[in-house]
């Protein structure tokens, strides 16, 4: 079974309305919904089909021992926090949820050479500078973070993902469509 994991944002959604009001609305629109932040590097292809590994983050974000013996090389690592399902996209609670990796855990994940990190929240680093720094750190390793993935309890059955990236987008946020094989 194929299941869509990317969120569709309508033109009347508060995030869309916010982006349209920004002075650089083209760039802002790329950073809403399901997307990759691309500050220093972008994916080289527009379509990826990869094996996926799900890490359960419902009770806490992973620590080093949670990832030590998992083969994630060349795969999509899915961090399932439950935040999007619980609070809904774009709500204040969604934006405040602490779904951030420690830098040590991120470094260990990157040593294992995944191709993508997908998360059902607004990122893997705390808002602001850390968020950008973590994305750039991943980009340097040719790993890209896809934010705002729509996940539910079926996530535990995901074995593969198809990622379609709008690499031609003029924004530093590259919109994505993500599909899972369950």
pLDDT at 139 over 90: yes
For residue 103, what pLDDT band results from cuts at 50, 70 and 90? Answer: very high
Angle at 33 between CA 15 and CA 60, to 5 degrees: 105
Question: What local confidence, expressed as pLDDT, does residue 141 receive?
Answer: 97
Question: What local confidence, expressed as pLDDT, does residue 147 receive?
Answer: 97
- CATH of residue 161: 3.50.30.50
pLDDT at 27 over 90: no
Which range of residues forms the domain containing residue 62? 2-181
pLDDT at 182 over 90: no
For residue 153, what pLDDT band results from cuts at 50, 70 and 90? Answer: confident
Question: What local confidence, expressed as pLDDT, does residue 179 receive?
Answer: 98
Task: Tell me the whole-structure pTM to 2 decimals.
Answer: 0.95
The pLDDT of 6-30, averaged and rounded, is 91
For a pLDDT cut of 70, what percent of the chain falls above it? 100
**For 50-70, b where at least 16 C-beta lie within 10 A, e where not — what string?**
bbbbbbebeeebbeeebbeeb
d(C-alpha 116, C-alpha 53), whole Å:
10
Domains in the chain, number: 1
């Amino acid at each position: 079974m194929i299941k869509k994991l990317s969120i569709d944002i309508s033109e009347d959604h508060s995030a869309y309305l916010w982006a349209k009001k920004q002075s650089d609305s083209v760039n802002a629109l790329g950073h809403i919904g399901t997307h990759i932040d691309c500050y220093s590097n972008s994916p080289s292809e527009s379509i990826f089909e990869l094996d996926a590994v799900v890490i359960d983050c419902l009770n806490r974000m992973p620590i080093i021992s949670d990832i030590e013996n998992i083969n994630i090389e060349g795969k999509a690592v899915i961090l399932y926090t439950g935040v999007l399902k619980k609070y809904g996209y774009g709500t204040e609670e969604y934006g405040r949820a602490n779904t951030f990796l420690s830098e040590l855990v991120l470094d260990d994940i990157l040593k294992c050479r995944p191709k993508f990190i997908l998360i059902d929240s607004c990122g893997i680093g705390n808002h602001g500078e850390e968020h950008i720094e973590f994305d750039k750190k991943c980009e340097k390793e040719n790993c890209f973070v896809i934010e705002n993935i729509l996940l539910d309890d079926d996530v535990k059955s995901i074995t593969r993902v198809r990622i379609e990236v709008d690499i031609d987008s003029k924004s530093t946020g590259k919109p994505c469509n993500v599909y899972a094989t369950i």
